[in-house]
Amino acid sequence: MILTEGLEKRYRAWPRGTRRVALAGLDLRVGEGGVTGLLGPNGCGKSTTLKLLLGLARPTGGSAAVLGRDCVRESLAIRRDVGFVPEERGIFGWMRTAEFIAGVAELSGRWDAAAASRLGNRWGIDGRARLRNLSAGTRSRLLFLVALARRAPLLLLDEPTSGMDPAAVDDALSEVAAAAADGTTVLLVTHRVEEVERICDRVVIMSEGRAVLHEDLDDLRAGWRTIDLVEFPSGERLRSWPEVHRVTSEGGRVRLVVRAGADAVVARLRMMGAEVTGVRAMPLREVYLSATGEGRDAARDDLA
């Protein structure tokens, strides 16, 4: 459904002649069906990626295709067939919600009017209200509603639940689950790790304009472990082991983060005479911090 190779986007920046790199060679592959979560710190290029996929911005390098169509040359066709919740929520402030919904319906190839009115009623969307007067949560729900009602084969959701209260978030995500069960492919951009943990079956973690991790969530849960050991002389060599993602040491203790094969790593460590004091599963939050390199402080706090 989505395929990018070495996708790159540089913006002109100040001072003149310099460039800000938003995407630095993104390789992304999202197959048909399922919900893929795209996680990453602010400014890592998540929203830029979505804009490029829809052809709302031009890449400065690499290639991108959505639904088998080129994102630059066939942008209009892609936009017609993709349900999109943009990061930007301030659009069409002067419109009444009913006009907005009717407008999107007209532009869409397919439109599920029954779903639109069902969700509109359930989420308390007043057709006469103007978009600019809606609360942030209601505006998010409105955009979510029109994206869902298009019955598109692919949904690109950029922080779709921002501004929603927890009950509304659950309600919205349950619609995503239902859409996925109906065969819709979903790419969910979010900074809420717990959303990805619940609703996604794959996760892509981005950092500094690249995908640093792309994994099935069940594999991730089964594979990633922290292994704590008492410092021993050859500790530095552990960095070169293929399973080892990261090594931190603090006050005579060493913590390894492994991506898979923790049991084998522990057995090998014990054979080398290391004293292993604990092996722990890693919640997605910790994997995320470790993969984006934001976990150094967290790891130190853990050990302290």
Task: Give the residues lining the site for other proteins (CB under 8 A).
Answer: 33-35, 170, 173-175, 177-178, 180-182, 194, 197-201, 217-218, 221-222, 280-285
Nearer to other proteins, 2 or 220 (CB): 220
The least distance separating other proteins from the CB of residue 180, rounded to whole angstroms, comes to: 5
Nearer to other proteins, 80 or 198 (CB): 198
Residue 25 or 283: which CB sits closer to other proteins? 283
User: Shortest Cβ distance from residue 153 to other proteins (Å)?
Assistant: 15
* Helices 284-291 and 296-303, packing angle to 10 deg: 130
State the minimum distance, in angstroms, from the CB of residue 174 to other proteins. Answer: 4
Smallest gap, in angstroms, from Cβ of residue 102 to other proteins?
27
Q: Which is nearer to other proteins, 165 or 170 (CB)?
A: 170
Q: Among residues 103 and 278, whose Cβ is nearest to other proteins?
A: 278
When the beta carbons of 146 and 199 are compared against other proteins, the nearer one is 199
Q: For other proteins, which is the closer residue by CB, 23 or 119?
A: 119
**Cβ atoms of 275 and 229 closer than 8 Å:** yes
Q: Whole-number minimum distance, CB 241 to other proteins, in Å? A: 21
Report the nearest approach of other proteins to the CB of residue 207 (Å). 22
List strands edge to edge, sheet with 61-66.
Answer: 18-30, 2-13, 61-66, 69-70
Shortest reach from residue 35's CB to other proteins, in Å = 5
